[in-house]
Structure 1
């Protein structure tokens, strides 16, 4: 074959440059890869607020040379860009990331826990892949059995489960997919001595995980107790710490509003808790917990809610945020007076779960404010190093700083979750989401195009003849729960009596030897016939002294000597 035969010329359609037909002609053939402009997407997520510089002490020199050096040495924080998640309907009260940083959970006053996966989100699909109501998982909306979520926290040692605390006496352990793993038992409210109850008898207010043991967690309740649980054993707490308040009079009970568990020196741990009477108590992380190692009365103003508390990574410093508008720094080695205290407006009047956290390396302290600003404080003098608005006008309730991602997560009263990051300092997480190509919108993503909005059914669904006649069928239910639709069966109402009835699965899990109810008693006894014969337990003492029973060989035709004659 000659060379000129290999060269194939394709005749192009002769159209003018301004011909309107050109916009209908393809520019290329085959599937085209959609490449994202990553730089533009990240630039679009940049926060419009100008980041203020690190504040200086008034006594420092203000020369130009010194200021240039300080700018070079100035700490940078991952707050230049943000990713906003609007998946809740009410205030976000708690946020947490798993140890790997791939999954984010958020709890809210709308009684739901939202689960977000960074690997599944794109810049155009910022939504939760699952919404769970811990106390009513099958319901599509909050019901009377639902409770507001006050605290969620992933297990820092194993990201497969997280601790979920609601306005209820029972805390839950749930899997990273939102399934219930364990529900701790509720105590007997009629017992006076809290040492004899197996669980909380009042609302659980706070909780956290053990700093080193993956199977232990602690919960603080309104029954004046701290209870340490083994997540593999739900029927009773492992240890109990009963705090007797000196300010509560003869009753000695007060609410335990916050608890923190940190690693101490020499491999030990320290357990610190705050009470509603203003007390701050510290226990050794190892049992027994008969009395506190240190106690500070009136650490905060009595009857004000101290909801924020955290322990530094070395276990030496404790920071508390009280409802009296003060943030205080404590030294566990001299646990008598605060080292430093500063004023900080409180939000405990509406959101008593507002927290305060140490940064991963304990070089900073972060917390929110009633004005919606994020405050990054110096861990030595509690002075603000950075104050930046996140949700102006809406209180900033919860904050968290992930060590691996180097990203700050916040939750606000306007139901928004903000993930703050810096493209050069942060890794994965929000950076990974903004580095993906936007998902192409499909017609099925718009329910208005695939659903009949007047009927609320799909266009491809089977419609019974005559069902669409006006007035033929009525929707809804009556006050008694009976359906207005005559063709629809009545929905069974769940009464309090039915809730108290224990089903077969509950009996098998919680009542020992319950499976013997379905076993034949004769077969159960015959299983031990050979063992009883070879090794008798109760008749072994006189086994060799018993006479041998002998029976006379009498046929049926023969009459015995004592057989009586029948009288006629």
Structure 2
């Protein structure tokens, strides 16, 4: 081999055909490879495949003369007006999803279910391969014991409207909870005295709470509706008693003046004005109160607004505070005007699912230009707010009831919850912002088998508990619940787990360190009698406490007694 620089060296390479599948496993270059996301392909994969979209025709007499092509163009135009072209599916629950809510910023999503848990989702940490919840919370887990497993289905969960730092959690129980955005319980409202007849004197609900909502402008005030025929307004800083109590007195026969409150809505005009509080009762009555009070008497009341003994699960108020839409258990959707709160403006038929799911809702779009709701057939209905006619009907979970819907104003995305435990996030790449669009635009994360806790023995670290033995660990004193520390506080999943430091783990000094730094530490291994006798000669020569008697009483004098004398006073002879 020559030493000149001009010599060429021949490097043998494996000879593979161009179509050989082994080429996919051979490196093409040195150094770290960066995997960039194919955003267009990933978003295209999330496009909804609807074989037969249902887009109802607009009632126009001249439409009979139009061609079929014109009708199809109108249908496609209707689909492009709404963010329903793509979807992101979250399968995190075990039973029907009964509540969905997004915080005002649109970064965090919570969903409640009949499986008694609340799932927390964070769009900032989602990728196309890691779609799921980062935390699961049972609001009643702290009250579980070895003898009782108290858990209740989630009726409603809603983020606060202004900041989103907390959310209202309502279960099938008389006590509602205020929880932080990380799932920690901050406030648990008090339960009322069930033996009191007058509901004005009880400090809380005495029956199951059905739903609730937040004040439109005050972030510290919320309202809950209960089966005890009351609406109770709470200040989240005072959990011992409600701020106001609104007692609904039913006039229906056979109900003794009480009726279950099934729905409530609290809205205010966006331009400013008095808020409006609207509630629905099981006897079919619709009541409206002024949002600022007093709440002794409703400002308007409509008897038989819906058929009695049917659950009116959905109520919403338009952004201008003038229109109210209700969805009753009688299979009707009605539109009301708050200025003439007597008769419905529009009434349309819509199959109800309140016999199985009483929390079925109906919502206005952020600008109140549309109304959205689900159906028993699993379709999403987008209605015209003026005549309640469907502008677009698209299947979400065909054959499975669609229970709850929500439309976020900043993200421009629609969130739905179905009876098959699926949460769908509908969006349009050109119309929607952040949220699901960002999640589908990230590079897929490489999945490992340890990422799935169901396939590992240790649910915390993803390692087999038999393969690693931790010194000092035992069966007792450790809390195996994920997301909860040994003290019972919730562990932030975004922060790495910090090892618990006990007093014995802070320092383990040797004997020299103890003897040099801890006073009287040598006395631990000494005999106390020998330690005292060591100071006997010193105490005799230089008495410290009896030095005042050295000159006056140098010699200790004791009484001398003979053996014949009694040591004590004369004892009286015992009587015989």
User: Normalization by structure 2: what TM-score?
Assistant: 0.75
Using the TM superposition, give the Cα deviation of residue 40 of structure 1 relative to its aligned residue in structure 2, in angstroms: 1.0
- In 2, Cα distance between equivalents of 1:317 and 1:142: 50
Alignment partner of 1:390 is 2:391: no
Conserved? CA contact 1:156–1:209, under 8 Å: yes
What is the correspondence of 1:179-328 to structure 2 with a 5 Å cutoff? 179-248=184-253, 251-264=256-269, 267-328=273-334
Using the TM superposition, give the Cα deviation of residue 68 of structure 1 relative to its aligned residue in structure 2, in angstroms: 9.8
Which of the numbers 146, 149, 161 marks the counterpart of 2:166?
161
Conserved? CA contact 1:133–1:142, under 8 Å: no
Larger of the two Rg values belongs to structure: 2
Residues 295-354 of structure 1, C-alpha deviations (whole Å, 9 max, x = no match): 000000000110111000001100000000000000001111100001111101110110
Q: What residue ranges of structure 2 are gaps of 5+ in the alignment?
A: 479-576
Using the TM superposition, give the Cα deviation of residue 458 of structure 1 relative to its aligned residue in structure 2, in angstroms: 2.7
- In 2, Cα distance between equivalents of 1:388 and 1:338: 27
Using the TM superposition, give the Cα deviation of residue 107 of structure 1 relative to its aligned residue in structure 2, in angstroms: 0.2
Using the TM superposition, give the Cα deviation of residue 417 of structure 1 relative to its aligned residue in structure 2, in angstroms: 0.3
Using the TM superposition, give the Cα deviation of residue 53 of structure 1 relative to its aligned residue in structure 2, in angstroms: 4.2
Conserved? CA contact 2:144–2:150, under 8 Å: no
Using the TM superposition, give the Cα deviation of residue 393 of structure 1 relative to its aligned residue in structure 2, in angstroms: 1.2
3-state SS of the aligned residue for 2:140?
A: coil
- How many positions carry a matched residue from both structures? 463
50-59 or 209-218, which deviates more: 50-59
Q: Please name the residue that 2:435 is paired with.
A: 429
- In 2, Cα distance between equivalents of 1:275 and 1:263: 22
Using the TM superposition, give the Cα deviation of residue 267 of structure 1 relative to its aligned residue in structure 2, in angstroms: 1.5
- In 2, Cα distance between equivalents of 1:394 and 1:84: 15
Conserved? CA contact 1:371–1:395, under 8 Å: yes
Q: Please name the residue that 1:526 is paired with.
A: none
- In 1, Cα distance between equivalents of 2:340 and 2:382: 25
3-state SS of the aligned residue for 1:267?
A: coil
- In 1, Cα distance between equivalents of 2:117 and 2:48: 29
Using the TM superposition, give the Cα deviation of residue 248 of structure 1 relative to its aligned residue in structure 2, in angstroms: 4.4
Q: Please name the residue that 2:33 is paired with.
A: 32
Which of the numbers 80, 84, 89 marks the counterpart of 1:84?
89
3-state SS of the aligned residue for 2:324?
A: strand
| Shift in CA distance, 270/81, structure 1 to aligned 2, threshold 3 Å | same
Q: Please name the residue that 2:413 is paired with.
A: 407
CA RMSD in angstroms comes to: 3.0
324-333 or 19-28, which deviates more: 19-28
| Shift in CA distance, 140/44, structure 1 to aligned 2, threshold 3 Å | farther
Residues 514-560 of structure 1, C-alpha deviations (whole Å, 9 max, x = no match): xxxxxxxxxxxxxxxxxxxxxxxxxxxxxxxxxxxxxxxxxxxxxxx
- In 1, Cα distance between equivalents of 2:382 and 2:10: 67
Q: What residue ranges of structure 1 are gaps of 5+ in the alignment?
A: 465-486, 492-568
3-state SS of the aligned residue for 2:141?
A: coil
